[in-house]
Amino acid sequence: MSKGVTIWFTGLSGAGKSTITRILEKRLRAMGAKVEVLDGDVVRTNLSKGLGFSKEDRDTNIKRIGFVCNLLTRNDVIAISAAISPYRQVRDYNRQLIGNFVEVYTRCSLDACIERDTKGLYKKAIAGEIKEFTGISDPYEEPLAPEVICDTDKETAEESAEKVFKKLEELGYLDHLQSQKSN
């Protein structure tokens, strides 16, 4: 089995994708893993600058993230994507493209996401100031069979990260790291 894998976090804005990613990244790096994080906000600023939030632009953005994750994964890197990626068809496209793919659904109630909203984006979207906002004026399609579900309004970020870590162990993606530690 290749050592590379893509861990694809998906969920509403404010669901905890980036927070869990940071915890997981730190733990994997401490084990000696090569890890790269593609955070949705950072990618939009650098790789997808100029794209809007239409369905077509969102699909393009998510396919770009998938393309980079595929390159990293096939070069034995653990790629972590933390982007809303609201449309199931494009997530499934990336799953097929990449192969070694672990989908993590950061499930969180809309009310909890609104309550956590430090940037005030939900408030603006509800007021109609932001068009095409996922969960308010644009749909979010929940994954049908994610490898991991993190109920982030019911568990801590550490508990969610532990779920993901355990799934990576179960699927054998960390075997090479654990054998290095014992040598």
Q: Which residues are catalytic?
A: 85
Calpha distance 37→182 (Å, rounded):
27
Inter-helix orientation angle 88-98/55-74, to 10°: 20
CB–CB of 16/84 below 8 Å?
no
Calpha distance 137→76 (Å, rounded):
39
Dihedral-angle region of residue 69 (phi above 0 means left; psi in -120 to 50 means alpha; beta otherwise): alpha
CB–CB of 157/19 below 8 Å?
yes
Calpha distance 17→39 (Å, rounded):
9
